[in-house]
Amino acid sequence: MLIDTSKSAHAKVSPIPVQDIDWDAGFWKERFDTCADVTVPHIRKMFEDDSPVFHVVENFRVAAGLHEGTHEGTPFGDGDFYKWMEAAMYVMVKRKDKKLEHDLDAYIELIASAQQEDGYLSTKQIIADKQGGNSRLGDINDFEVYNFGHLFTAACMYKRITGKDNFLKIALNAAEYLERLYKKYIADGVAQTEVCPSHYMGIVELYRITGDPKYLKLAEMALQVRDLVPEGSDDNQDSLPLREHRKIVGHGVRSTYLYAGVADVYAENGDESLKTVLDAVWKNCVDKKLYINGGCGALYTGTSPYGLFHNLNGVTVYYVHQAFGYEYQLPNITAYNETCATLGNIMWNYRMFAIDPQVKYFDIIERSMLNLTIASVSLSGSKYFYQNTLRRVKNLDYELMWPLERKDSLTCFCCPPNMARFIAESSEYIYMKGSDCVYTGMYGANTAHIALENGAEFDLVQATDYPWYGNINFSFRNVKSGQSFVLKLRIPQWVSTGSVKKNGVELAVLNKSNAGRYFEVLVENPREDSVELILDMPVRYTVAHSYVEENINQVAVERGPVLYCLETPDAPVDSLGEVMLPSDAQFREVPYDIEGKNLMALETEAYVHIRNDDYDVDSLYQTFESKGIRKVPIRMIPYFAWDNRGRGEMIVWMPVYWGRN
């Protein structure tokens, strides 16, 4: 399981073990299969490549003294490889793939041979130090502790899945190194920050899997150390002491990883000052800085929006990479939205749900998984986005940092293995359980074996064509105990109508008052009971806050949990910027195939202005003139499926036409 909060003193729910739940069919089974069959092997091949761009596995061989050479690629390649290993672990257990398990054991043996006697493990520095240097912890952007964190997480995962200690031993040795380092920092009263702090989550998992309180103490020390940075920055969220944080700032990945780790610590020690931070920062993020596709970290390069600038070598620096920016600062064409930032946000919300099981957290998880995580990889499974924009135009007079079409190779390859592990692990987001209840998370066809503390034990079968249709049926098999329990059905915030049935009898008619809440169904006799949840899915227009300048008087099209977009192949116009959606549009739900994947498209008629002959498409400003409007047929596709049919325009937010032709 991703995390194990079953014994966490301040968590109310815990996940279902990975071995006990599987996608059976449908949407998420298809995504898992593509990930297992295409994405995971493709990324492995990239990491096995000994070219200077990747060189990841080769770096471990050089660090271990098995090969001669230098370090190549990014300094965080070690951590990215551990993320790939997590994805491979899930494929291994779901497919019962003994060959893959053997290969993972071989990689673990290689990693162990590269680890230094004092527990230190980061290949860039180990290789450099073989030449007589001392490069450890000299530059925060060498990501050494980031590498440690993903090592910890992957090692705990392998222990849970296989029962083996081989990977865990490496992680525990590395944790001993960190403990000595943090004790020195605390004694000195000054510390160096750690970027992308994956290690908070990883250290807490070491505590959970070993039960040794020294690892919880180590996690608390890690939080203490970040307040000892002498000249912090918003870029790394250390310009203010942690317990003074109230807004989300700076680098998208570094911040979401931070708060996910803080949530893990709170789940164990119950420090209410940490919960105050988590609630305030979460609200600032979700209410004012989150994209409709679940993306976060809006700006390629921004400034500290609150005047908390930092000093670097005597020069005041205003730079913040991958910045959240100001409240409501959510551009579309230049939207950054690094995939890893959204994945960090999913981890954060997952942990917030464990602490306080509310629908709002799983609403964010589902939005982010459906509309950004799977959008970051092609439908074929082998091409990737680094950033996730909400509009692509024909031509730009400037270059953006990353390509505006998916590529099979990226010079910074952190997102693909991270995305792969989330899709491989997607079944973790179906349910969480309490002592006498089961909470539903993401919906999809699956079977789960569930054992509750109150003695109830059964297989829970979910049959559905979600997210295309909202009928979700729950039945129970292999019931080992007739003990009753509560099935808590997530009613997403977008729901306006629907119903709940038990044994074919209607229990409730759902309306907007039920949205964003759990509906409880008492399953008194699981051997005979069945439950049906019906969530109606009319197409709806979504508007943004009026402070989001780019989206004023525009709407986005959604149906159920799925965000839609318009692409060049689906509109007979010169530019998608011309298209206006009728206020009373009637959409037709149409099955549609892209890259062999069955999707639900939406068809309707839209409007465009009939321009005068002297209209200048390149003019910055000109007098508005129109000869009237004309109707054009358009087809909208799920946002996650865009950029699979060649280079063209794409748009999410579109103006509404309120008149009549």
* CATH code, domain carrying 482: 2.60.40
Is the predicted pLDDT of residue 318 greater than 80, yes or no? no
Last residue of a domain, one of 408, 429, 450: 429
Domain count, the chain: 3
Instruction: Give me the mean pLDDT over the 446-458 stretch.
Output: 97
Q: Residue 105: inside a domain, yes or no?
A: yes
pLDDT tens-place string over residues 417-447: 999 999 999 999 999 999 999 999 999 999 9
Residues 604 and 642 in one domain: yes
629-638 and 597-609 strand pairing = antiparallel
Nearest to 31 by CA among 599, 524, 614: 599
Q: Residue 3: inside a domain, yes or no?
A: no
Instruction: Give me the mean pLDDT over the 459-464 stretch.
Output: 98
Is the predicted pLDDT of residue 633 greater than 70, yes or no? yes
Residues 530 and 550 in one domain: no
Nearest to 454 by CA among 484, 488, 487, 476: 484
Residues 397 and 526 in one domain: no
pTM of the model: 0.96
Please give the distance of CA 104 from its chain centroid, rounded to a whole number.
24
Query: What string of DSSP letters covers 115-176?
Result: S-TTS---HHHHHHHTTT---TTS-GGG-HHHHHHHHHHHHHHHHHHH---HHHHHHHHHHH
Last residue of a domain, one of 489, 515, 535: 535
Residues 477 and 420 in one domain: no
pLDDT tens-place string over residues 121-140: 999 999 999 887 778 988 88
Three-state secondary structure string covering 302-359: EECCCCCCEEECCEEECEEEEECCCCCCCCCCCCCCCHHHHHHHHHHHHHHHHHCCCH
* CATH code, domain carrying 144: 1.50.10
Q: How far is CA 344 from CA 30, 297, 522, 627, in A?
A: 24, 11, 34, 49
Residues 386 and 255 in one domain: yes
Is the predicted pLDDT of residue 204 greater than 70, yes or no? yes
User: CA-CA distance, 179 to 222, in Å (whole number)?
Assistant: 9
Last residue of a domain, one of 401, 429, 457: 429
The predicted pLDDT at position 135 comes to: 84
SS3 75: coil
The predicted pLDDT at position 319 comes to: 60
Structure tokens at 235: 């870029």
- Pick the more confident residue, 235 or 298: 298
Residues 30 and 101 in one domain: yes
Q: Per 3-state DSSP, what percentage of the chain is helix, strand, and coil (rounded to 5)?
A: 40, 20, 40
The predicted pLDDT at position 93 comes to: 96
The residue behind tokens 């839609």 is 564
Instruction: Give me the mean pLDDT over the 160-172 stretch.
Output: 97
Q: Residue 8: inside a domain, yes or no?
A: no
Per cent of the chain over pLDDT 90 is 85
Instruction: Give me the mean pLDDT over the 452-460 stretch.
Output: 97
Residues 559 and 631 in one domain: yes
H or E element: which one contains 654?
Answer: strand 654-657
Q: Residue 9: inside a domain, yes or no?
A: no
Nearest to 84 by CA among 522, 420, 461: 420
The whole domain housing 626 covers 539-657
Is the predicted pLDDT of residue 312 greater than 60, yes or no? no
Structure tokens at 432: 């969480």
Is the predicted pLDDT of residue 565 greater than 80, yes or no? yes
Q: How far is CA 589 from CA 72, 309, 317, 592, 595, in A?
A: 50, 50, 51, 9, 19
pLDDT tens-place string over residues 41-67: 999 999 998 877 789 999 999 999 999
User: CA-CA distance, 202 to 381, in Å (whole number)?
Assistant: 28
Q: Residue 630: inside a domain, yes or no?
A: yes
Q: Residue 2: inside a domain, yes or no?
A: no
Q: Residue 585: inside a domain, yes or no?
A: yes
Residues 137 and 284 in one domain: yes
Instruction: Give me the mean pLDDT over the 322-342 stretch.
Output: 92
Most confident of 134-138, 209-213, 656-660: 209-213
The predicted pLDDT at position 303 comes to: 58
Residues 6+ apart with CB under 8 A from 639: 293, 371, 375, 562, 563, 564, 565, 652
pLDDT band at 410 (very low <50, low <70, confident <90, very high): confident
Polymer length of the chain: 661
User: CA-CA distance, 250 to 109, in Å (whole number)?
Assistant: 38
pLDDT band at 311 (very low <50, low <70, confident <90, very high): low
pLDDT band at 1 (very low <50, low <70, confident <90, very high): low
pLDDT tens-place string over residues 604-617: 999 999 998 899 98
Residues 6+ apart with CB under 8 A from 378: 384, 406, 595, 643, 644
User: CA-CA distance, 22 to 447, in Å (whole number)?
Assistant: 6
The predicted pLDDT at position 573 comes to: 95
Residues 479 and 575 in one domain: no
Is the predicted pLDDT of residue 309 greater than 50, yes or no? no
User: CA-CA distance, 296 to 342, in Å (whole number)?
Assistant: 6
pLDDT tens-place string over residues 502-536: 999 999 999 999 999 999 999 999 999 999 999 99
Residues 390 and 455 in one domain: no
Residues 178 and 278 in one domain: yes
Q: Residue 412: inside a domain, yes or no?
A: yes
Query: What string of DSSP letters covers 41-62?
Result: HHHHHHHH--STT--HHHHHHH
Residues 20 and 122 in one domain: yes
